[in-house]
């Protein structure tokens, strides 16, 4: 076996780009270009933000939150407020 070869890695990356692009309604190549530029789509701000601004998320496949830290904080606050209101 060739050293450094990881089975299925490239394929899963491509599938990931296609899925992400489909969700945002953009071309996979556009999505890929953004990801390769170190950006990530923030589902809270509905915009591209640097990956450094995203916190970890254990349940996500790539281990990162779908919201940036600020959006996640805002979301958590809103969630707490709704929970308390019940
Ligand atoms: Zn954000």
- Residues 12-54 pLDDT 10s: 678 888 988 999 999 999 999 999 999 999 999 999 999 999 9
Residue 18 to residue 2: CA distance in whole angstroms = 28
Kindly tell me the burial class for residue 53, based on how many C-beta atoms sit within 10 Å of its own C-beta (0-12, 13-18, 19 or more): middle
Is the distance from CB of 44 to CB of 71 less than 8 angstroms?
yes
Please tell me the pTM assigned to this model.
0.74
Q: Ligand 1 centre and the CA of 76: distance in Å?
A: 13
Q: Ligand 1 centre and the CA of 79: distance in Å?
A: 16
Largest CA distance in the chain: 59
Q: Ligand 1 centre and the CA of 38: distance in Å?
A: 15
Chain-centre distance of CA 7, in angstroms? 23
Q: Both tokens of residue 4?
A: 């450094």
Q: Ligand 1 centre and the CA of 83: distance in Å?
A: 23
Residue 63 DSSP SS3: coil
Q: Ligand 1 centre and the CA of 84: distance in Å?
A: 24
């Amino acid at each position: 076996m060739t050293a450094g070869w990881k089975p299925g890695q490239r394929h899963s990356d491509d599938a990931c780009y296609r899925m992400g692009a489909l969700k945002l309604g953009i071309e996979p190549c556009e999505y890929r270009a953004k990801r390769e530029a170190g950006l990530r789509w923030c589902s809270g701000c509905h915009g591209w933000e640097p990956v450094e601004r995203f916190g970890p998320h254990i349940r996500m496949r790539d281990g990162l939150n779908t919201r940036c830290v600020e959006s996640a904080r805002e979301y958590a606050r809103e969630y707490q407020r709704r929970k308390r209101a019940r």
